[in-house]
Amino acid sequence: MQDLISSYKKNLLLSILLTFFVLLFLYGIFATNNYFTWFNFKTIIRDAALYGIMAIGLTFVTLSGNFFLLSIKETAAICCVSFAMGMSTGYGVESWVGNFPISLLVTLLIGCLAGAAQGLFIGLGGNPIVVTLGGAGILYGIATWWTDNLVISFRRPNDAEWLGTGSFLGLPTITWSFILIAILAEFVLRYTNFGRKVYLVGSNRAAGKATGHENLSMAIIVCTICSALCAFVAVAFAAQMSSAQANYFSAEFGSSGDMTILVIATVMVGGNSIMGGYGNTIRTSIGAIFIAMIDNMMVLNGLNSGPRIVGVGLMIVFSILVFALYAKGSRAQE
């Protein structure tokens, strides 16, 4: 018991989050109809999975001290229309129509390229906000230009259904992907040299350079990881809807409005340091589930999208506040 209390104090922020988590869960069970059902549980982790995967990608960027990518929803937008184009038109090649692997590969390639290009400019010293705002505009522009801002749909049955709506052992495929990606990401951060470099460069870029770990390659790699995961989510989402449009991730995504803000919120609510060098993907995953739970509860209580977006905003403010207070007390760096 003593140990429990002392470890609670040591991981104050995480503990506060977990406490809230439990309280919310209890509130859900006893005060909300249809909450404690298998179906609802699946809905929650399904929602959490979609932005959780992207947030895991963004965690790498944030941990490495490169702040945020503001082009998340635009990257997802161009990737989702690219996938839909591949499924419905085969990019103009007759025999590729409906070919899942080719559509997936092309889309992931686009995602990686978008990430690498932005990472290059950030690594060369560009301000991440400015670079990715510019990147966002370009990507979104290309996506709407390419599709004339129309909905691109592809007929069912198709080869992508297993990813979009399929399930395995009772859980949706996307949820399994979330779990696997979270485990893999945490392994990479903890046990590989690359992961260690992410933390080192994130905690002090100048010292990173002095010990031979340059931010240039780091920025390119983390941005590529983040964008590739955005591409993956975009593919899964397009597969689920059997269609895609450039503005899917702006307004109609899930529930709470803007995708980029939601993903950044996930990283922040988990308690990762906004300045880099401190945090992990477990925090991000918990943040994702946390947000999904609150959002789900607001839905079940009959709130529509306006108040729910306010809710997400409040969560960001709350977590930043808690983190700032926590950081003051314990970390020598600030």
Partner 1 sequence: MQSPVLKISNISRSFGAIHALKKVDFEINKGEIMGLVGENGAGKSTLVKIISGFDNGYEGEYKLNGQVVRFETPVKAELSGIAIAQQELSLIPNMSVAENIFLAGAKVKKFATLKKLSEEAKPYLDAVGLSDIDPSIRTNLLSVGEQHLVEVARLLSHDAQILILDEPTAALGEQESRRILDMVQKIADSGKSIIYISHRLDEIFKITNRIAILRDGESQGIINTKDLNVDSLVEIMLGRELKNMFPVKPTKIKEDTILEVKNLWPDGLIEPVNFKVQKGEILGLAGQLGSGAGEVLAAIAGALQIRSGSLVLNGKEFMPSSPQQAIKNKIAYCSSDRKKDGLFLGRPIMENLTSPALEVISKFGIRSASTEQKYSKNLALEFLIDVKRLNDESGLLSGGNQQKVALGKWLSISPEILLVNEPTRGVDVGAKSEIYQRMRELADNGTTIIFASTDIQEVTYLPERVLSFYQGLLIRQFGLNDIKTTSILKQITDPFNETNL
Query: Which residues here bind partner 1, judged by CB under 8 A?
Result: 191-194, 196-197, 199-200, 203-204, 206-214, 277-278, 331-333
C-alpha to C-alpha distance for 75 and 9, rounded to whole angstroms:
39
What angle (nearest 5°) sits at the alpha carbon of residue 176, between those of residues 83 and 265? 75
Question: Backbone phi, then psi, for 244, in 5-degree steps?
Answer: -155, 150
Residue indicated by tokens 């950030």: 122
Q: 7 vs 333, which CB is nearer to partner 1?
A: 333
Q: 130 vs 207, which CB is nearer to partner 1?
A: 207
Task: State in angstroms the smallest separation of the CB of 205 from partner 1.
Answer: 9
Task: State in angstroms the smallest separation of the CB of 4 from partner 1.
Answer: 20
Task: State in angstroms the smallest separation of the CB of 214 from partner 1.
Answer: 6
C-alpha dihedral sign at 276, 279, 282, 288: negative
Task: State in angstroms the smallest separation of the CB of 278 from partner 1.
Answer: 6
Task: State in angstroms the smallest separation of the CB of 199 from partner 1.
Answer: 6
Q: Give the C-alpha distances (Å, rounded to integers) separating 205 from 64, 86, 124, 197, 210.
A: 9, 41, 13, 10, 9
3-state secondary structure 23-67: HHHHHHHHHCCCCCCHHHHHHHHHHHHHHHHHHHHHHHHHHCCCC
Contact, 251 vs 139, CB < 8 A? no
Task: State in angstroms the smallest separation of the CB of 222 from partner 1.
Answer: 16
> Which tokens sit at 160?
């992508």
Q: 9 vs 331, which CB is nearer to partner 1?
A: 331
Q: 155 vs 190, which CB is nearer to partner 1?
A: 190
Q: 36 vs 191, which CB is nearer to partner 1?
A: 191
Q: 128 vs 208, which CB is nearer to partner 1?
A: 208
Rg of the chain in Å (alpha carbons): 20
